[in-house]
Amino acid sequence: MSHAAASLTPMTARRAGPLQGRARVPGDKSISNRALILGAMTVGETRISGLLEGEDVINTAKAMRALGATVTRTGDGRWSIAGVGVGGFAEPAGPLDFGNSGTGCRLVLGAVGGCPITATFDGDASLRKRPMKRILDPLERIGAKPVSMAEGGRLPVTLAGARDPIPIVYEPPVASAQIKSAVLLAGLAAPGETTVIENEASRDHTERMLTHFGASVRIEPHGAHGRRVTLTGQPELNPAVVAVPADPSSAAFPLVAALITPGSDVILEGVMTNPLRTGLITTLRSMGAAIETVATRNEGGEEVADFRVRGSELSGTDVPPERAPSMIDEYPVLAVAAACASGVTRMRGLKELRVKESDRLAATVDMLRVNGAEVEIDGDDLIVTGKGRVAGGGTVATHMDHRIAMSALVMGLASDKPVRVDDAAFIATSFPGFVELMRSIGADIA
Ligand code: S3P
């Protein structure tokens, strides 16, 4: 496990001048994980550029190596994978350690679930608390068998993949791209059609990338906000070239920082604008945020934009529950924006936040309260009463959660007194270079 509790890295953010300049955040975590996994399931050489070289993704790369793929770093963000083909994974010599990464662990559970091998999955103390039954349940229907698991369906889990995977129709109990992706990746090895029915559409990077690698995926509307995704199993996957766009979930931090720091004027380059990822932009614009799209283009099959973001007077808003999947990772930093806004922001339907890298609902409330902001939980809703400014002066417990750490540091850039986090080490899981990037646009974080 990469982080010993003894080696905490505290960090403090202070108010300084306006933020200014241009920045490009690292590659998208979801796409980076998927590119490595699909590359490993394809015979031939897949070449990736712009890969996020954060700990979560590196752990996925190590798992692909342990399962028999040849994974080589050929340059800055450039990786080459010689894959083993659908159903071709070799039994790993030891446990696969996914560190802090729920996505890596769950997607690889799915990929292994369709192969006739047995593998043990493990992670750090945060990942060991997170639910895995949501993945194991559909995998059992496909024919995989959990040989052992910790209490409550937690890691470490030993999974015996299916010898003869069965194509299924599955309706996940929660809107989750991770569940959908695990089922589709297992379904790759099954004969016939594997279908996932979503009542609320979640990010569709797996579907897009499967198509990019040559699989046949059909997408139909389902209800008001949902989709029915059908994959034809046992495809001939072709090695692909993948260019990873900048991660909108990482861009969220400098973006909110610029909005809440008066006089700021920042350009964020090449941010992916997949509509299933842009809930935060929609919400912030409805709060009065000056976020201008200055250029758009297509990068590696995804729409991207350069955003010009200026310091803005924000007002409270109501965020509907059906928007949650398109901004599920952005609520902590939206809560910071809401605390700096005027009026009440109600964020509805946030049950899933309780099972992220931390109980993010509780961690977000504590982060704001310890810094003098007014916040409460009502059922699954988070309600922040913004006063136009935040007092600060508190130390935030990050609970091994990168997004709580970055959100708290962003808050410190605009609060009256500095904000300290107890441990900034986990920022490296998703956003290596965060502090340097923020400093390059004028932030005082040390
Ligand atoms: C992800 C899906 C989301 C998100 C996570 C990345 C993915 O999780 O929170 O950071 O890459 O599929 P859920 O789909 O479980 O909500």
Residue-wise pLDDT for 81-123, tens only, equals 999 999 999 999 999 999 999 999 999 999 999 999 999 999 9
Helix, coil or strand: residue 117: coil
Is the separation of the CB atoms in 173 and 195 below 8 Å?
no
| pLDDT, the chain, mean | 97
Which of the four pLDDT bands, split at 50, 70 and 90, describes residue 1? very low
Angle, vertex CA 101, rays to CA 401 and CA 172, nearest 5:
105
Measured in Å, residue 172 CA sits from the centre of ligand 1 at: 14
Is the separation of the CB atoms in 248 and 271 below 8 Å?
yes
| Active-site pick, 97, 204, 306, 329 | 329
Residue-wise pLDDT for 241-268, tens only, equals 999 999 999 999 999 999 999 999 999 9
Is the CB of residue 250 below 6 angstroms from any atom belonging to ligand 1?
Answer: no
Measured in Å, residue 278 CA sits from the centre of ligand 1 at: 14
Is the CB of residue 59 below 6 angstroms from any atom belonging to ligand 1?
Answer: no
d(CA 217, CA 237): 12
Q: What is the pLDDT of residue 4?
A: 45
Q: Which atom of ligand 1 is nearest to the CA of 177?
A: 14
Mapped to the 3 state alphabet, what secondary structure does 312-357 carry? Answer: CCCECCEECHHHHHHHCCCHHHHHHHHHHCEEEEEECCCHHHHHCC
Residue to substitute in 37, 135, 176 for testing ligand 1 pocket (most ligand atoms within 8 angstroms of CB): 176
Catalytic residue check, 97: no
Which of the four pLDDT bands, split at 50, 70 and 90, describes residue 10? very high
Residue-wise pLDDT for 163-192, tens only, equals 999 999 999 999 999 999 999 999 999 999
Mapped to the 3 state alphabet, what secondary structure does 13-37 carry? Answer: EECCCCCEEEECCCECHHHHHHHHH
CA–chain centroid gap for 260, Å, is 23
CA–chain centroid gap for 303, Å, is 18
Residue-wise pLDDT for 31-68, tens only, equals 999 999 999 999 999 999 999 999 999 999 999 999 99
Residue 144 identity:
A
Is the CB of residue 30 below 6 angstroms from any atom belonging to ligand 1?
Answer: yes
Instruction: Summarize the confidence of residues 188-201 as an average pLDDT.
Output: 98
> For the chain, what is the radius of gyration of the CA atoms?
21
d(CA 114, CA 143): 8
Is the CB of residue 100 below 6 angstroms from any atom belonging to ligand 1?
Answer: no
* CA quadruple 359, 425, 415, 257: dihedral sign: negative
Residue-wise pLDDT for 117-149, tens only, equals 999 999 999 999 999 999 999 999 999 999 999
Measured in Å, residue 30 CA sits from the centre of ligand 1 at: 7
Helix, coil or strand: residue 247: coil
Measured in Å, residue 427 CA sits from the centre of ligand 1 at: 17
- Tokens linked to 151: 């209490």
Is the CB of residue 178 below 6 angstroms from any atom belonging to ligand 1?
Answer: yes
Residue nearest to atom 16 of ligand 1 (CA): 176
d(CA 84, CA 73): 18
In sequence order, the 6+-apart residues with CB closer than 8 A to the CB of 308 are 265, 266, 267, 290, 291, 292, 294
Is the CB of residue 407 below 6 angstroms from any atom belonging to ligand 1?
Answer: no
d(CA 197, CA 384): 33
Nearest Cα neighbor of 71 from 106, 50, 113, 41 is: 41
Measured in Å, residue 21 CA sits from the centre of ligand 1 at: 30
Is the CB of residue 101 below 6 angstroms from any atom belonging to ligand 1?
Answer: no
Residue to substitute in 106, 328, 358 for testing ligand 1 pocket (most ligand atoms within 8 angstroms of CB): 328
- Tokens linked to 264: 């700021």
> Is pLDDT at 2 greater than 80 in this prediction?
no
CA–chain centroid gap for 107, Å, is 12
For residue 341, what are the CA distances in angstroms to 132, 367, 413?
A: 37, 16, 15
Instruction: Summarize the confidence of residues 264-277 as an average pLDDT.
Output: 98
Q: What is the pLDDT of residue 300?
A: 75
Instruction: Summarize the confidence of residues 180-208 as an average pLDDT.
Output: 98
- Tokens linked to 372: 């003098």
- Tokens linked to 210: 């499967």
Residue 199 identity:
N
Measured in Å, residue 14 CA sits from the centre of ligand 1 at: 31
For residue 168, what are the CA distances in angstroms to 141, 165, 227, 393?
A: 7, 9, 16, 53
Residue-wise pLDDT for 350-387, tens only, equals 999 999 999 999 999 999 999 999 999 999 999 999 99
> Is pLDDT at 7 greater than 90 in this prediction?
no
> Is pLDDT at 5 greater than 60 in this prediction?
no
For residue 402, what are the CA distances in angstroms to 24, 27, 123, 253, 397?
A: 19, 16, 15, 11, 11
> Is pLDDT at 318 greater than 90 in this prediction?
yes
User: What is residue 384's DSSP assignment?
Assistant: E
Q: What is the pLDDT of residue 6?
A: 57
Which of the four pLDDT bands, split at 50, 70 and 90, describes residue 217? very high
Helix, coil or strand: residue 243: strand
> Over pLDDT 70: what percentage of the chain?
99
Q: Which atom of ligand 1 is nearest to the CA of 34?
A: 11
Residue to substitute in 38, 127, 184, 203 for testing ligand 1 pocket (most ligand atoms within 8 angstroms of CB): 203
Q: What is the pLDDT of residue 301?
A: 80
Nearest Cα neighbor of 302 from 249, 237, 248, 244 is: 244
pTM of the model: 0.98
Measured in Å, residue 264 CA sits from the centre of ligand 1 at: 31
Residue to substitute in 100, 109, 178, 180 for testing ligand 1 pocket (most ligand atoms within 8 angstroms of CB): 178
Residue nearest to atom 9 of ligand 1 (CA): 329
